[in-house]
Amino acid sequence: MGRTVTVATCALNQWAMDFDGNLERILKSIEIAKNEKARYRVGPELEICGYGCSDHYYESDTLLHSFQVLRKLLESPVSQDIICDVGMPVMHRNVRYNCRVIFLNRKILLIRPKMALANTGNYREMRWFTPWSRSRNVEEYFLPRIIQEVTLQESVPIGDAVLSTLDTCIGTEICEELWIPTSPHIEMGIDGVEIFTNSSASHHVLGKAHTRVELVNSATAKEVLVATLDLEDVRSYRAEISSRNLEASKVTPYPRIKVHFALSCSDDICTPTNEPIQWKYHSLPEEISLGPACWLWDYLRRSKQGGFLLPLSGGVDSSATACIVYSMCCQVCYAVENGNQSVLDDVRKIVNDEAYIPTESQELCRRILTTCYMASENSSQETHNNAKSLAGEIGSYHININIDGAVKAIWGIFSTITGRLPQYRVDGGSVRENLALQNVQARIRMVFAYLFAQLSLWTRGMPGGLLVLGSANVDESLWGYYTKYDCSSADINPIGGISKADLKTFIQYCIENFHLMSLKGILSAPPTAELEPMKKGHIVQTDEADMGMTYAELSVYGKLRKIAKAGPYTMFCKLITVWKDFCSPREVASKVKHFFRMYSVNRHKMTTLTPSYHAANYSPDDNRFDLRPFLYNSSWSWQFRCIDEQVSKLETKDHKLEDVV
């Protein structure tokens, strides 16, 4: 009697609409699984077409090509003698479902539609799919002819069922179903299902690993002592829990699809089982070091560009971006050192050298990353030195550019046409003049960034172009503290979903782990845009003074606005309690009003926000995550009046208490 089983779960680097590449990666994963003696292979959600197809799911082509890939998988000798569980969209009775298609030896066993769709944050599954609502029910699905020709099946079951093999029972969940209170695995376990699979497309959010692991642990803890692959351990553990057995005796059974196939062998008595995984939680700065770096590498190799160009200002944000690229180079070198041929092939294509082998992170960084410090008459020697020193430590190809000539040329044209020349605030100019002078500098830097991204490699006799990296953090985007179409307008932004506070923690991590000592000065300097003239050689412009709030306050506003779903009045009501020790209700009201004024005035900038690595649940990204109007009545008259009325009530109450005392 068999008791030990080997199953394989696969995390693949699938790409939306890349049917050839997706097929190749699925087949490779099945081959690896079989080589490791696995008898069941489960892959990621919607792996055949790729999870991020968005409105391409509406197209009949996407369904057609998914079935064409499925046919290739069914026909392949690689997929024989192993149960394969793949993800793809399926239309049943003119309704589109997000499905798992489970097959064995050219026969489809079950099409299992997703029952709970992800529809918050970045996810819009209800836009394209319908949840399967018939619990523990199956229907007849008539296969398209291209599949019938291979399977010799006219129809197969579709719905909420489980697989009953010769030695065990297997149940399927799909991503979001693990997160809901009534997860299918609960009832499945009571009904005798011994193995649960969950295919997922969940994205990385800073600190989310704890939640994900706890959910997996809770799923297994309801049924299994440890996450073992010894079926007898599962059975003996369950058999002694009388309350569970009472529930099992009256549960409505799941439809069982009989599979004449065993996951175990009859002579497996000496087969060792895996020990439970001891999960290693990364610290927050470690997650920043690893996650965005992998995202950058994936984007770079897929885009077939020659590297990155980063405007390096010498401040925390652009320095953090540079450090993430350096971390990426470290990971690439480590992968190559450990024999990862795929990574080596990719890096050779990127640097256009078929014999290249990266061994030093700094040397690879010099090939892949170009940094440029774009000085103006308002730039300090301190930021110039910081940028140069950091570039030297990480090894980037560094350029110094002075933009004053271009800035003066633009103002010369403006003056010739209008006969007027604006002045900075320190020289008696208005707020409008002062802002316009700053914006021209910022936008000129964007023009130079794209110019050098296109031609920098050409000037060095190398082919290809560079991707421009942005470095606006999530807090600045929320407030709108940047110039529209300046250096924040880039191709991609690895820190666009990370707060200023978290970036500072990451900078400290880089000092300690990458030994980048130039970061000490960058970390201690006050954040500044350096777009206004200095006074007696000293910087007078700082970010927090310009914004009228601290970065710490901005993070609080962002989390309340997005995560707590707080409008102006609710935010005020929450903060008068949270900040009661150092702010009066009137001061809280003033702060909340100022935030919402600036947020609403600048919201239009979100329509042009650079695509960024999504790592914060309060990101204001208008394109994917935070769907709001981009033109507001920024007076918020009704909302602010409610706040004022509440302030008056609180102050009247306080005065009465003082009179009593």
536 is catalytic: no
Q: From the candidates 72, 79, 114, 329, give the one annotated as an active-site residue.
A: 114
One-letter identity of residue 522: I
One-letter identity of residue 358: P
Q: Cα separation of 165 and 179, whole Å?
A: 27
One-letter identity of residue 416: T
DSSP state of 608: G
What angle do helix axes 568-578 and 585-601 make, rounded to 10 degrees?
Answer: 140
Q: Which residues contact 159 (CB under 8 A, 6 or more apart)?
A: 111, 112, 113, 132, 134, 137, 138, 139, 255
583 is catalytic: no
DSSP state of 607: G
What tokens does 349 get?
């294509």
Q: From the candidates 202, 313, 319, 518, give the one annotated as an active-site residue.
A: 313
Phi, then psi, of 374 in degrees rounded to 5: -105, 95
Nearest to 541 by CA among 552, 558, 525: 525
379 is catalytic: no
Question: What are the C-alpha distances in Å from 534 to residues 364, 376, 428, 429, 541?
Answer: 37, 11, 15, 15, 8
Phi, then psi, of 225 in degrees rounded to 5: -65, -50
Nearest to 313 by CA among 369, 373, 389, 228: 373
Alpha carbons within 13 A on the beta-carbon side of 350? 29
Pairing outcome for strands 83-92 and 107-113: unpaired
DSSP state of 6: -
Q: Cα separation of 582 and 576, whole Å?
A: 10
Beta-ladder partners of 9: 42
Pairing outcome for strands 40-42 and 7-9: parallel
Question: What are the C-alpha distances in Å from 328 to residues 176, 197, 217, 319, 652?
Answer: 30, 32, 31, 14, 58
Q: From the candidates 45, 125, 177, 553, give the one annotated as an active-site residue.
A: 45
294 is catalytic: no
Q: Cα separation of 213 and 65, whole Å?
A: 34
Nearest to 32 by CA among 10, 5, 15, 4: 10
Nearest to 488 by CA among 579, 572, 606, 401: 606
Pairing outcome for strands 107-113 and 95-104: antiparallel
For tokens 């197809």, name the residue. 53
Residue 350's SS3 state is helix
Side by side, which strands form the sheet with 155-159?
Answer: 7-9, 40-42, 83-92, 95-104, 107-113, 155-159, 138-142
Q: Cα separation of 63 and 57, whole Å?
A: 8
Q: From the candidates 10, 175, 329, 487, give the one annotated as an active-site residue.
A: 175
For tokens 């950091």, name the residue. 390
Give residue 304's region: left, alpha or beta (phi > 0; psi -120 to 50).
left
Q: Cα separation of 558 and 556, whole Å?
A: 5
Helix (H), strand (E) at residue 159: strand 155-159
Residues in the chain, overall count: 661
Exposure letters 12-30 (e unless 16+ CB within 10 A, then b)? eebbebebeebbebbbebb
Residues marked as catalytic: 45, 114, 175, 313
